[in-house]
Amino acid sequence: MSSDPVDVLIIGGGPAGLTAALTLARQLHTAVLFDNQSYRNGNSPFMHMIPTWDHRDPAQFREQARQEILSNYSTISLENTSIEKAEKGEDGLFRVTDASGNSWEGRKLILATGSQDIFPPIPGYADAWGKRIFHCLFCKGYEDRSAKRAGVLAIQSAANVPMAMHQAENAAQLAEQVTIYTNGQEALGSQLATTLASQSSNTVFKVDNREITGLELNGDVLSTSTFVLVQLADGSQVEEAFIVHNPNTQVKSTFATQLGLELAPSFVPGTGDIAAAAPFHQTSIRGVFAAGDCITPYKVVAGAISSGCNAAVAASAQLLAEKHGHQPLF
């Protein structure tokens, strides 16, 4: 076990965790950031909506952030290890233990572990994820603007009219024709068809109820000529420039269970995010904060940076009030 407790333990080395570490350093707090080097956008060559880093490599972003923190701030250390256990001791300190049995203690804990995507059981989906299957058309898709065709998967949590229509509307900003695939859900397809029939712009959209037997990525992922081949149960195939689908997610760790944290309500059993409301992002246990993809359905880098900063500021506020024996803000 490390000899002295640090101010904050940060689990997660993505944008939220890195921002939390940088923020804490600015007030001379000591912190250890644990990075298991597994990232939700690890399959993506580009990230977007970050000024000075738009359409650039997310791996390079993380590496440059790490270098800047270690070069400029002496109170932060980084550990490339996978934390397996987190607990709060009777002395009020938090203890984390990695897969090798090494332990660290801290006065506060920030969870920035990210989310785990639950892919639908469609062959080829995983290969196309992050390359031609886009979960967010603010993050991806602009480079494919003016595409002839795009598809929307109305499955999992998107297997309802409001969400399917929302994603189709986003896709129609970038493609001339949008097909909503219900993957064999005839009742949903009928509801969507009724909704579209009542709209004046229904020529842009169409519904396909055939079961999808596979998705095949064709071409160089860095080229806008790449497409997804949608393979259907009747043997036919359809080329789509890109597919829109936001898969179900779950918190990417067991720390919420280990610590007994509350989860935000979710329509899908076994999914959901850690309940950690803005602006402080404190969880249901005092001294435990959460940031990034693990606290919100809006899983984008810009949001992760924002919540990472806020969680760190909140942790600092508690630490300083406790240090001086003052009444804390919250």
**Does one domain contain both 256 and 182?**
no
- CATH number of the domain to which 139 belongs: 3.50.50.60
Query: Is residue 194 domain-shared with residue 239, that is, in the same domain?
Result: yes
Q: Which pLDDT value is given to residue 279?
A: 97
Give the model's pLDDT for residue 119: 96
Give the model confidence (pLDDT) of 193-231 as tens digits. Answer: 999 998 766 689 999 999 999 999 997 766 667 899 999
Tell me how far apart the alpha carbons of residues 105 and 89 are, in angstroms, rounded to a whole number.
10
The alpha helices in 179-329, defined as continuous H runs, are: 186-197, 255-259, 301-324
Same domain, 171 and 67: no
pLDDT > 90 fraction of the chain, expressed in percent and rounded: 89
Q: What is the pLDDT of residue 1?
A: 62
Distance CA 189, CA 168 (A): 14
Query: What's the count of helices (H) and strands (E) in the chain, helices before strands?
Result: 7, 17
Residues 315 and 264 in one domain: yes
Q: What does the pLDDT read at residue 266?
A: 82
Domain-embedded: residue 259: yes
Q: Do 162 and 190 reside in the same domain of the chain? A: yes
Q: What is the pTM of this model?
A: 0.93
Q: What is the pLDDT of residue 2?
A: 59
Q: Are 37 and 82 found together in one domain?
A: yes
Domain of residue 145 covers 125-244
Same domain, 86 and 154: no
User: Given this model, what pLDDT does residue 199 score?
Assistant: 79
User: Would 329 be classed as within a structural domain?
Assistant: no
pLDDT-derived band of residue 146, with 50, 70 and 90 as boundaries? very high
Residues 104 and 152 in one domain: no
Tally of domains in the chain: 2
Specify the pLDDT at position 179.
Answer: 98
Distance CA 227, CA 193 (A): 26
